[in-house]
Amino acid sequence: MLRGVLDLCLLAVVAEGPAYGYEMTKRLSARGLSIVGEGSIYPLLGRLERDGLFDTYRAGSNGGPPRKYYSLSRQGKRALAAGTAEWQTIRDSVDTVLGLAKAEVGA
Amino acid sequence: MSEFVSDCRKEWRRLCVPDAVANEMASDLAADLAEAEAEGVAPEEVLGNGIFDARAFAASWAAARGVVPSTPRTWREIRRRGWMTVAGASVSVLAALAGLALLSHRHAASVAPGMLRRFIAGPLFVPRPLVIGPGPGGVLLMNGRSDLLGLILLIVGLGGSCLTLWLWHPWTSARRRSATEDNAGIPSYL
């Protein structure tokens, strides 16, 4: 996976509502994004928190032990909006390039 | 899985991660792994490749949180080198200043570089005439060992200063490297 894409995906799943680490993994998996073979999300969460993109708090989880919940900070919302726009631009450009290649291969 | 968390704790202890932070990370990790296990999810799906190397996983997590330097050993070396460089610079400057002071105090005539021909031995800091240069009678340039000592101190001081500047270079380049590593967070795709 391209560097930074998982960051953006984490911002996106947390935008749905506060979540703890494993909960985010489940949300990603539910959308077809498995992290098997990729690095863990924990260092990414640490970095995003350190960079001020996440706010955190501790709370109980379904009767389990207290967990660290991550939510989007104002800066995180801005980063998500900017990253989404940037991603769409890149995706469109890549689609165009691949579309041309496909047409040439098919011809 | 408790073994994995235990290995992470050992690594955090080795890296001098504050206890409060280490306890928090260990608690969250243990709870997540227990929940995954209860749901029949493989730990690889929670930790990715991290499951195969607890120490690397723990170190990268702690570094990402900013509770340890990204490369602790390198930073320790850089810090030690920094102190050595500062000490070397101080000694070099002091030596150069002492040499200049001795030379300016004892200087009796203009110096003709490379013309040193004879040195009359004598006790340290006791001026003795030193005849240097061509011509009848020569030119009195220096007064004994104290002048030579001054010259040596000046050369050593200047040499030490050059060495200090040379040693300083890896220090600054390492700081630049670290700043680049820290420049992460906003998504970048290319």
Q: Do B98 and B23 lie in a common domain?
A: no
The band of B187, judged by pLDDT with boundaries at 50, 70 and 90, is: very low
Is position B189 within any domain? no
CA distance B83 to chain A (A): 29
Question: Does residue B96 sit in the same domain as residue B37?
Answer: no
Whether residue B141 is found in the same domain as residue B159:
yes
Query: Which of A81-85, B47-51, B182-186 is the most confident on average?
Result: A81-85
Tell me the nearest-neighbour CA distance from B105 into chain A, angstroms: 59
Q: Which of B42, B48, B63 sits opposite A39 (nearest CB)?
A: B48
> What's the whole-number mean pLDDT along residues B88-116?
72
For residue B123, give its domain range: 72-182
Q: Which residues of A touch B35 (CB under 8 A)?
A: 22, 64
A68 and B190: CB-CB below 8 Å? Answer: no
> In this prediction, does ipTM exceed 0.90?
no
B24 and B106 fall within a common domain:
no
- Spell out the domains of chain A, with CATH numbers in brackets: 5-106 (1.10.10.10)
Most confident of A45-49, B112-116, B141-145: A45-49
For residue B189, pLDDT beyond 50: no
- Alpha-helical runs (H) found in chain B: 2-14, 19-38, 43-47, 54-65, 72-106, 144-182
Cβ of B57 within 8 Å of Cβ of A35? The answer is no
Give the tens place of pLDDT for each residue, A21-59: 999 999 999 998 877 566 688 999 999 999 999 999 999
Chain A hits for B183, CB-CB cut-off 8 Å, are none
Choosing from B13, B31, B65, the residue where a domain stops is B65
DSSP helix, strand, coil percent of chain A (3-state; round to 5) = 60, 10, 30
If asked whether residues B110 and B35 sit together in one domain, one would say: no
> Each residue of B14-40: b (16+ CB within 10 Å) or e?
ebebeeebbebbbbbbbbbbbbbeeee
Average pLDDT over residues A78-100: 93
Q: How many domains does chain B have?
A: 2
User: Does the residue B190 lie in any domain?
Assistant: no
Average pLDDT of the residues in B138-156: 72
Say what percent of chain A tops pLDDT 70: 91
Statement to judge: residues B102 and B137 lie in one domain: yes
